[in-house]
Amino acid sequence: DRRRAAAGALPPTTWLGSLLLLVCLLASRSITEEVSEYCSHMIGSGHLQSLQRLIDSQMETSCQITFEFVDQEQLKDPVCYLKKAFLLVQDIMEDTMRFRDNTPNAIAIVQLQELSLRLKSCFTKDYEEHDKACVRTFYETPLQLLEKVKNVFNETKNLLDKDWNIFSKNCNNSFAECSGQGHERQREGSSSPQLQESVFHLLVPGVILVLLAVGGLLFYRRRRRSRQEPQRADSPLEQPEGSPLTQDEDRQVELPV
């Protein structure tokens, strides 16, 4: 009986392994719940108000700045659009949106940068080979740039409120489609400047020849008129027959000597 009991009993290491597995499962579940709560409420209304104050404090100007951002015409999936835009916003806040140190705007940017670092845990990372996919260069005013940044945070907040795990979506296929469209646009763009350059080289000489021809014609006509006017002034007036002057000359000839 003792041998059977000993054979049927589990070793202590087996119980210990099962207990550790149960603890790990419970811990992972609690961590998942904390992350979901963390992502859903990470972006608060105060962050959006800070962005709005940044917009309101900007001077209205027609001057434009250059920055890279997502081309929404290529990337129409809202989730993939925000995943790509989130990474670009981090670069924009670091390189483009700069203010004087210790000013309210500079402090607001620092807070938004800290927020973006915390938000990284809510976004899964896609392949790095598509980093430049769906991206193009924009030339817009600072106000337009800030509006884009605020829209990214606002839309990210709305989606996280609905589903904290929504940004775990794999967007590699969408980014790959953008890469294909980008190559096609690059080919079209490379042929277009060549066409414009050839048209320019043909058009400019033609315009110059036309201007020279018109100028030569005007010069010839003006010179011809200047030659005809002195000849008309020097030529004697034609006298018609039977005029009083002719009659007086005839009378003088007929007088006897």
- Strand, helix or coil at 4? helix
> Is the CB of residue 128 less than 8 Å from the CB of residue 53?
no
* Full residue range of the structural domain in which residue 80 is found: 45-57+64-181
Euclidean distance between CA atoms 157 and 35, whole angstroms: 15
88 in any annotated domain = yes
The CATH number of whichever domain residue 99 belongs to comes to 1.20.1250.10
Euclidean distance between CA atoms 138 and 145, whole angstroms: 9
Average pLDDT, the chain: 76
pLDDT of 8 over the 60 cut: no
pTM equals 0.59
239 in any annotated domain = no
214 in any annotated domain = no
Euclidean distance between CA atoms 38 and 34, whole angstroms: 6
What is the predicted pLDDT for the residue at 228?
67
201 in any annotated domain = no
pLDDT in tens, 44-72: 999 999 999 999 999 888 999 999 999 99
Euclidean distance between CA atoms 236 and 118, whole angstroms: 106
For residues 203-221, average pLDDT: 74
- Strand, helix or coil at 63? coil
What is the predicted pLDDT for the residue at 225?
74
240: buried, middle or exposed (CB in 10 Å: 19+, 13-18, 0-12)? exposed
pLDDT in tens, 96-138: 999 999 999 999 999 999 999 999 889 988 876 567 889 999 9
15 in any annotated domain = no
256 in any annotated domain = no
> Is the CB of residue 144 less than 8 Å from the CB of residue 189?
no
Domain count, the chain: 1
